Amino acid sequence: MSTKLLEIKNLKTSFFTQNAELQVLRGVSFDLKKGETIGIVGESGSGKSVLAMSVMRLLQYPGKIVDGEIFFERENLVDKTEKDMRKIRGKNIAMIFQDPMTSLNPVYTIGNQIIEMIMEHQSVSKKKARLAAIKMLETVGIPSPEKRIDHYPHELSGGMRQRVMIAIAMSCEPKLLIADEPTTALDVTIQAQILELMKQLRDDVGTSIILITHDLGVVADICSRVIVMYGGLVMEEGSVNQIFYEPKHPYTMGLLKSIPIFGFNEHEGLYSIEGTPPNLTNPPSGCPFHTRCEFAMRICREQQPEYHSVEIGHKAMCWMLHKSAPPCENFSRSMKGV
What pLDDT, in 10s, does the model give residues 173-200? 899 999 998 877 677 887 888 888 888 8
For residues 239 and 313, the answer to whether their CB atoms sit within 8 Å is yes
pLDDT number for residue 57: 96
pLDDT number for residue 284: 86
pLDDT number for residue 263: 62
Tens digit of each residue's pLDDT, the chain (338 residues): 468 999 999 999 999 988 899 999 999 999 999 999 999 999 988 999 999 999 999 998 899 999 999 999 999 999 999 999 999 998 899 998 877 777 899 999 999 999 999 998 888 999 999 999 999 899 888 899 999 999 999 999 888 898 898 889 888 889 999 999 887 767 788 788 888 888 887 888 889 999 999 888 889 989 999 999 999 999 999 999 999 999 999 999 999 988 777 666 666 677 788 889 998 998 888 999 999 998 999 999 999 999 999 999 999 999 989 765 555 545 544 544 45
pLDDT number for residue 329: 47
Distance CA 151, CA 170 (A): 19
pLDDT number for residue 268: 66
**How far, CA to CA in Å, does 184 sit from each of 3, 17, 99, 192, 209?**
31, 30, 8, 12, 17
Q: Point out which residues pair with 316 in neighbouring strands.
A: 236, 308
Q: What is the C-alpha end-to-end distance of the chain, expressed in Å?
A: 32
Residues counted in the chain: 338
Q: Is 260 exposed, middle or buried (0-12, 13-18, 19+ CB in 10 A)?
A: exposed
pLDDT number for residue 194: 81
**How far, CA to CA in Å, does 173 sit from each of 74, 123, 145, 276, 287?**
20, 15, 19, 40, 40
